[in-house]
């Protein structure tokens, strides 16, 4: 009993120490409270799907792949530790835009999403209208709302055109134009229109230019050459890039059946890790240059005086870290994302080291523009955190098809579908290379029990929403 009590006490002390390793803001360091109210500000969301936080120069001084992003957001609010709700696009994107818990969102999608054809049937339109997106809320506040979207995961087929006045979807049904950079170019075109129109607007752009399997890449740009890479010409102006091998050696353009590549030896994993990161950097350089054109249009206009510009990502990409070539799992490579807010009142870089959740973005914007949030959203406004206050949550969670995670401070428990558990101290192991679950079984138990309790709470909550909607259908 004494030994067990001692172990439990040691676990709690370790947990407490890891929770408090994040440097807390001291409000006295600030000359005054930052008033970030901006009632009539335009809002621009730039969602660069699969953009990893550690590949953005502002987040990692060793990287020099995003000079245009770094320059545009140099004097901005930079959140240094942001976790997405999922490594799966549909879950994370829906949760982010509705500011809802990832487990709750995942439970709803499991009950409403169908695979063939991949969609959210429109009979659920009323159900999801009770869980408004930021576009619906800002539309009620008098904003013109615009969505420029790559692929169906974040568009009409996921019912995420709700509250949108103008919708443009590359890759949607009826659209054939899916060229590299097309979504960013279309956004630049519409920003030019809005500069002339001068009406208040919310614009959400989501780009999939960083999505592999395969990459779409312009043919007139420098190319990484390697015998393992295949450039397949698509028309006159672009290539599809294939490089991920299957066990038989063929290059795949399909999503692999397993999250982790367990058939590949460690030496090959390291080779493909370097190769995939090189190709990702090549693609990100292109994306950053295209964004630079968009930033130039904004900077040359009046918009900087009355526009909040946000750069973020639904999720990252494995790039063979932890043997994960793509995404859809709960490792940091897939869920650690950038979230940077350029605000008219921010005149110098304001770094926020506290761990926060991506679902906190939308409530933060609601607070900035004085919009009334929907009832019982799960995200929280980060204005107090920006001003040196403590983050109000003790835990936050994420869920995807293959795994789940729970974080408390810098301690993170990842649980796979087969109940395999991995524990990481992100304060000293941001790459999650050292699973310390066996060393701290009591801590694993504490976090796992909290994860299960949260999962039950959110499943019950989702079932209540679904049941209520079904009963209203019968009236």
In a domain, 467, yes or no: no
DSSP string over 28-82: GGSSS------TT-EEEEEEETT--GGGSTTT-TT--S-HHHHHHTSSSEEEEEE
Q: What percent of the chain has pLDDT over 90?
A: 77
Residue 371 structural domain: 38-393
Q: Are 57 and 66 in contact (CB under 8 A)?
A: yes
> Using one digit for the tens of pLDDT, what is the confidence trace for 230-241?
999 988 789 999
Q: Are 227 and 272 in contact (CB under 8 A)?
A: no
Cα distance between residue 187 and residue 168, in whole Å: 10
pLDDT score for 142 = 96
Q: Is the pLDDT of residue 249 over 50?
A: yes
Q: How far is CA 259 from CA 255, 266, 414, 416, 430, in A?
A: 9, 16, 14, 11, 20
Task: Give Cα 396 distance to the centre of its chain.
Answer: 15
Task: Give Cα 272 distance to the centre of its chain.
Answer: 24
Angle among Cα 461, 138, 103 to the nearest 5 degrees reads 25
Q: Is the pLDDT of residue 359 over 80?
A: yes
Lowest mean pLDDT: which of 61-70, 115-124, 155-164, 375-384?
115-124
Strand, helix or coil for residue 212: coil
pLDDT score for 30 = 43
In a domain, 436, yes or no: no
- pLDDT bucket at 204, cuts 50 / 70 / 90: very high
Non-local CB neighbours of 38 within 8 Å, separated by 6+ positions = 306, 308, 343, 344, 345, 368, 369
- pLDDT bucket at 282, cuts 50 / 70 / 90: very high
Per the structure, how many domains does the chain have? 1
In a domain, 213, yes or no: yes
- Name the DSSP letter for residue 454: H
CATH of the domain at 327: 3.40.720.10
What is the pTM assigned to this prediction?
A: 0.93
Lowest mean pLDDT: which of 42-56, 140-154, 443-457?
140-154
Cis peptide before 11 (omega within 30 of 0): no
- Two tokens, residue 178: 């899916």
> Using one digit for the tens of pLDDT, what is the confidence trace for 4-58?
544 554 454 455 545 444 444 443 344 457 899 999 899 999 999 999 999 999 9
pLDDT score for 5 = 47
Strand, helix or coil for residue 475: coil
């Amino acid at each position: 009993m004494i030994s067990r009590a001692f172990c439990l006490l040691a676990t709690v002390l370790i947990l407490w120490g890891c929770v408090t390793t994040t440097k807390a803001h001291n409000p006295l360091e600030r000359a005054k409270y930052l008033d970030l109210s901006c009632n009539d500000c335009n809002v621009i969301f730039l969602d660069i799907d699969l953009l990893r936080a550690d590949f953005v120069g502002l987040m990692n001084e060793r990287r020099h792949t995003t000079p245009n992003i770094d320059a545009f957001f140099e004097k901005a609010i930079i959140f240094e530790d942001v976790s997405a709700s999922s490594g799966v696009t549909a879950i994370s994107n829906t949760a982010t835009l509705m500011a809802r818990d990832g487990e709750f969102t995942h439970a709803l999608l499991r009950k409403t999403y169908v695979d063939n054809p991949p969609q959210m049937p429109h009979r659920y339109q009323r159900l999801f209208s009770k869980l408004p997106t930021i576009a619906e809320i800002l539309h009620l506040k008098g904003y013109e709302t615009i969505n420029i979207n790559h692929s169906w995961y974040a568009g009409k087929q996921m019912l995420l055109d709700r509250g949108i006045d103008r919708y443009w979807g590359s890759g949607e049904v009826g659209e054939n134009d899916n060229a590299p950079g097309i979504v960013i170019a279309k956004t630049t075109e519409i920003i030019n229109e809005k500069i002339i129109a001068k009406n208040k607007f919310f614009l959400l752009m989501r780009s999939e230019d960083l999505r592999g399997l395969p990459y779409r890449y312009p043919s007139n740009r420098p190319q990484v050459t390697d015998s393992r890479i295949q450039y397949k010409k698509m028309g006159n102006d672009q290539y599809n890039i294939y490089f991920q091998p299957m066990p038989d050696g063929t290059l795949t353009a399909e999503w692999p059946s397993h999250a982790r590549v367990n058939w590949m030896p460690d030496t090959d994993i390291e080779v493909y890790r370097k190769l995939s990161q090189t190709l990702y950097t090549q693609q990100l350089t292109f994306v950053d240059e295209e964004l630079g054109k968009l930033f130039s249009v904004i900077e040359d206009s009046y918009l900087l005086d009355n526009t909040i510009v946000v750069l973020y990502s639904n999720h990252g990409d494995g790039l063979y870290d932890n043997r994960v070539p793509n995404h859809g799992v709960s490792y940091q490579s897939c869920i650690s994302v950038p979230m940077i807010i350029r605000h008219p009142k921010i005149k110098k870089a304001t770094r926020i080291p506290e761990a926060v959740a991506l679902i906190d973005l939308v409530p933060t914007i609601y607070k900035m523009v004085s919009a009334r949030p929907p009832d019982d959203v799960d995200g929280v406004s980060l204005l107090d955190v920006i001003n040196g206050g403590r983050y109000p949550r003790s835990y936050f969670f994420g869920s995807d098809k293959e795994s789940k995670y729970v974080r408390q401070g810098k301690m993170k428990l990842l649980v796979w579908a087969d109940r395999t558990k991995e524990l990481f101290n992100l304060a000293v192991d941001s790459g999650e290379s050292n699973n310390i679950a066996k060393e701290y079984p009591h801590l694993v138990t504490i976090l796992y029990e909290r994860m299960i309790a949260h999962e039950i709470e959110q499943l019950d909550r989702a079932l209540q929403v679904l049941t209520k909607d079904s009963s209203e259908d019968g009236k």
